[in-house]
Amino acid sequence: MNEEVKEESVVEEVVVVEKPQLGTKETEEAMKLGFAVAKVLKQAKANDGKISSNDLMLLTNLFPHFGPAFEGIDQVPAELKDLDEAEVKRLLTVASAHLGEVLDKEELVRKVEKALKVALAIVDLVGEF
């Protein structure tokens, strides 16, 4: 009795699920807040060499940035971890346009990093209260 052993081919179906890109929207808003804070402080200091109550009106330049930056600030770390090359280029393009300056890439990246640190630090501090 020579029974033929049939080998069953088990084909496992592999489903590749691509995770959606997180994008850069929240990171851009946080970055713009950081830039706005720096610009206001620089302008206040440039007016008379010090930052004082005479510069209070300059703070109104920050108001449009707080809402958008705070709304999704908790998503910024995830967006930063998920950046691809196109998104990095987009952030740098948005930063360059927002700053209105011609900067080399190294200086632009440094300003973006600092702006994000400022914005995240503000949100972190607010969370302490």
78 vs 59: CA distance, rounded Å: 29
- Mean pLDDT calculated for residue range 31-58: 90
Under a CB-based contact definition with an 8 Å cutoff, are residues 73 and 120 in contact? yes
Reported as a single tens digit per residue, the pLDDT across 66-95 is 999 989 888 998 998 889 999 999 999 999
Q: What is the pLDDT of residue 37?
A: 92
48 vs 55: CA distance, rounded Å: 10
Using pLDDT thresholds of 50, 70 and 90, give the confidence band for residue 1.
low
SS3 content of the chain, % helix, strand, coil (to 5): 70, 0, 30
| Domain ranges across the chain | 25-127
- CA angle 119/123/129 to nearest 5° reads 150
